[in-house]
A = this chain, B = another copy of it.
Amino acid sequence: MAADRPTGKTLAGDAYERIRGAIQDGRLRPGDRLRFADLQALCAMSVTPVREALARLTAEGFTVLDDHRGFSVASLSLSELRDITANRKLCEGEALRLSIERGDGEWEARIVATHHLLARVPQGRDDMPSVIRHDWDERHAAFHQALISACGSPILLDTCLRLFGHAGRYRRVSVSLSGLQRDVEAEHRQLMELALARDGQGAVAALHAHYQRTADALEAFFDGRVA
């Protein structure tokens, strides 16, 4: 892994991606306090761009800020998981319904293409099945994004993307125990087929079930372990 990538555009943007990445793949864990000294070491830059990155992350809910007490990684909770799930059902469900109504041939092509890529990699790593593969994570996101990409509402897409990102903080924990119990691949294939068949009702129902199963598996795992 490249320790120093060729700074995309601004250092602040780099810091944002790097810290967000560290949060999402578990190197920074929920509740951890974020000291500027550590973050400067991680990102190899001064305090200003780090601070801007944290400001963005906080506005998106990945970190929280106590005035004059610094930033910390947002903590996980059962109630937030339920809340995220309910909101995903509402927003992504509507976005999927609209996409099925409005989608054209290119939308269908995006679904087929992203699903094909997703189906070609396993969910967990061979050496450590409990850790999600980075490429699976990216392709999984791309597939779900493709499903709703024809909804015609940038704001709704943004909301869905935000929710997906938050759910990702929980998803990393989920795959470790549900890998064998669920056939996630089949669920994705079914979603694709229902969408391509323009079955709005069925696709939304399948999406709801997809999210509910994820939430249920997590609920059983989390119960008693977090607030």
Contact = CB atoms under 8 A, between A and B. Distances in A.
Instruction: Pick from A12, A59, A80, A155 the residue with the most CB of B within 10 Å.
Output: A155
A17 interface: no
B155 A83 contact: yes
Interface string A86-119: 1100110010000000000000000000000000
Interface stretch (A31-39, A47-55, A121-129, A203-211): A47-55
B153 A86 contact: yes
Nearest to A47: B48
A67 B10 contact: yes
A165 interface: no
Interface in A9-46: 9-10, 12-13
A185 interface: no
A64 B192 CA distance: 35
Contacts of A90: 90-91, 94, 156
Contacts of A68: 9-10
Interface of A: 9-10, 12-13, 48, 51-52, 55-56, 58-61, 67-68, 80, 83-84, 86-87, 90-91, 94, 153-156, 158-159, 163
